[in-house]
Structure 1
């Protein structure tokens, strides 16, 4: 029993140290931008292994050079309550869970393979938490750690800083990260010059950038971008 107690104590201490390490890294981001994310590093390894080369584009743009058009478009498309929630949009999460349950039930009824996605409805802060520090595996343990990091981000950084880091590190295509690289790649302009429709097109790509980059001007992208552009004025900025 003593041995088991010691093991549990060591495990608890290790978990606590890990959380303190996450908190320290996040607090530092108030002044120092992250040089890379866990997701980016995994992409480097994947590209090196699969293609034997790493084509990479990323350039940090400070918050005052990120256009309001892009901020509004991303919030309208990805997380319309970003400015007001505490990191997790519980209503959206419950809605996504119910939708996934229905999709799984339909798959079981057809004796088909269950959909890969287990839970959706992630906020911008949750997406940043996952990309910064975690792997892409879908387990309850990883989701729990994601929630803790999400709350740390919300507690230690301002909403403006969270959005700034997100827009500078999020994937917009294979080896393509951040708003500046995306604006240069798709529109041959700096991010600061993005108009409403260009910003909306980039925002629409975020759920599946590797898929959408093959046809960035597809009818779906254009139609969806029109809808997002129409909602941008009501998007609340932090």
Structure 2
């Protein structure tokens, strides 16, 4: 009588083990369908946020997703934003920011794969994130169109939108939009608002020294800027001066 239950238990275990390969097989068979569904959902999402590139090609910069998000997250802060277009941005600040943020801006098509490889190597050697590789086109796409924090899906959308920006707009227009919407301090968006806030001048009068300070502000504008003069800000400013010594 003791043998019967033991045989049933062995049989039950074998049955459970047989279910596992079956489940794995079914999951593999359904994987293409799942991927197609996810791709369809992503295409639908992008279609909802896809910009009107004809409208972006001329006229003042639109209210960016970052500015909209700022109004929600920091209602207590006064928002300073004065888009001025290319004529309101000094040639110096345009050149300094390109040299600082994206030296190969004129050579790539939205993504600088050489910078991506270099950043990946440096981050791997350091064991932490010490360098990014987002181009001005990617930063413009992120600021204009995307909400939320950093994740793989958002980075993918940033890449797609950056390539679309490069396809529809020329480099000069992309840079103009970037400088009109980039954050330069708490509630301070665009080079015109930054120049007025920090020095009481218009962005068309920005020279080399002040342009360097704005470029040093871009990585973390809320904490490290010409008003706070933190050690991190001074370090970035010094590094930029060394890197761009032949510039003037």
**Interval containing the TM-score (normalised by the shorter chain):** 0.7 to 0.9
Deviation at 1:140, TM superposition (A): 1.7
Deviation at 1:149, TM superposition (A): 0.5
CA distance in 2, matches of 1:223, 1:8: 48
Query: TM-score under structure 2 normalisation?
Result: 0.76
Cα-Cα RMSD: 2.9
Provide the residue aligned with 1:215 in structure 2.
229
Which residue, out of 87, 91, 108, partners 1:68? 91
Q: Deviations over 1:62-84 (max 9, x none)?
A: 21221110011101111111112
Provide the residue aligned with 1:37 in structure 2.
64
Deviation at 1:185, TM superposition (A): 1.1
Structure 2 residues without counterparts, runs of 5 or longer: 1-30
Asked if residue 232 in structure 1 is aligned to residue 247 in structure 2, the reply is: yes
Deviation at 1:210, TM superposition (A): 1.4
Provide the residue aligned with 2:109 in structure 1.
86
Aligned length: 217
Which residue, out of 80, 98, 102, partners 1:57? 80
Which region of structure 1 is more displaced relative to structure 2, 4-13 or 212-221? Answer: 4-13
Structure with higher Rg: it is 2
- The answer to whether the 8 A contact 1:197-1:229 is kept is no
Which residue, out of 167, 183, 188, partners 1:171? 183
Deviation at 1:7, TM superposition (A): 8.6
- The answer to whether the 8 A contact 2:61-2:85 is kept is no
Q: Deviations over 1:179-236 (max 9, x none)?
A: 0011111111111111111111111111111121211796435524533552535xxx
CA distance in 2, matches of 1:180, 1:126: 22
Query: TM-score under structure 1 normalisation?
Result: 0.79
Deviation at 1:8, TM superposition (A): 7.5
Question: 1:133-152 maps to which residues of 2 (within 5 A)?
Answer: 133-152=145-164
- SS of 1:172 mapped into structure 2: strand
Change (3 A) 1:79 1:8: closer
- The answer to whether the 8 A contact 1:23-1:152 is kept is no
Provide the residue aligned with 1:46 in structure 2.
73
Q: Deviations over 1:110-161 (max 9, x none)?
A: xxxxx4x497211111111111122342222111111100100000111111
Asked if residue 96 in structure 1 is aligned to residue 96 in structure 2, the reply is: no
- The answer to whether the 8 A contact 2:96-2:215 is kept is yes
- The answer to whether the 8 A contact 2:85-2:176 is kept is yes
RCO (CA 8 Å, sep 6+): is it higher in 1 or 2? 1
